[in-house]
Amino acid sequence: MTSVTRPDISVRAAVTADAHTLAALSIQVWLATYTEGVSDLCARYVLSEFTPEKFLALLEAPNVSLHVAEVDDRLVGYSLVRSGVPQPLVPEADSELCKLYVQEPFTRHGVGSALLQAARAGNEGLWLMVNVQNLRACRFYEKHGFVVRGSTEFVLGEGRHRNHVLAMPT
């Protein structure tokens, strides 16, 4: 029987040199997670939302914490937290975990857990939104102690996509 070895994961704060890699990884993960085939609407969304320029701006923002996970000096995931972002369904928390993206070959190897740990550092009141149909992500957050506090919608074009609002119990 062959045993699966976990990769050596390093997590660090993102730097400006990561901007292009973050943009490419974001597009790859978003499309793999939310599409079966690429529509014009989805292509336009990812190409406008996930740009090196937007990541450079995030790195300069005072209320943003952006961490990357690397395996063999290659970026395999990242977490993005914005502080000072209230959520009416979670009044005790004001830090949003906006993104926790892990490249598919590195899921279930501890990358997401390592990034979540970095995201939680210094953020006692953390909340997030996750697409209700993204069952793997829903199970991941539940496993890490997050609970559903309500729901909201992500709107893309004419489509409305229900998201759970999750938070750590206080």
Block residue for tokens 């993204």: 134
The domain segmentation of the chain, as residue ranges, is 9-119
- Cα distances (Å, whole numbers) of residue 101 to 40, 91, 110: 22, 25, 13
Task: Report how far residue 170's alpha carbon sits from residue 167's, in angstroms, rounded to the nearest whole number.
Answer: 9
Task: Report how far residue 99's alpha carbon sits from residue 105's, in angstroms, rounded to the nearest whole number.
Answer: 18
pLDDT tens-digit readout, 58-113: 999 999 999 999 999 999 999 999 999 989 899 989 899 999 999 999 999 999 99
Mean local confidence (pLDDT), 105-129: 91
Instruction: Kindly report whether the global pTM for this prediction surpasses the value 0.85.
Output: yes
Q: According to the CATH classification, is domain 9-119 in 3.40.630.30? A: yes
Closest C-alpha among 29, 19, 35 to residue 100: 29
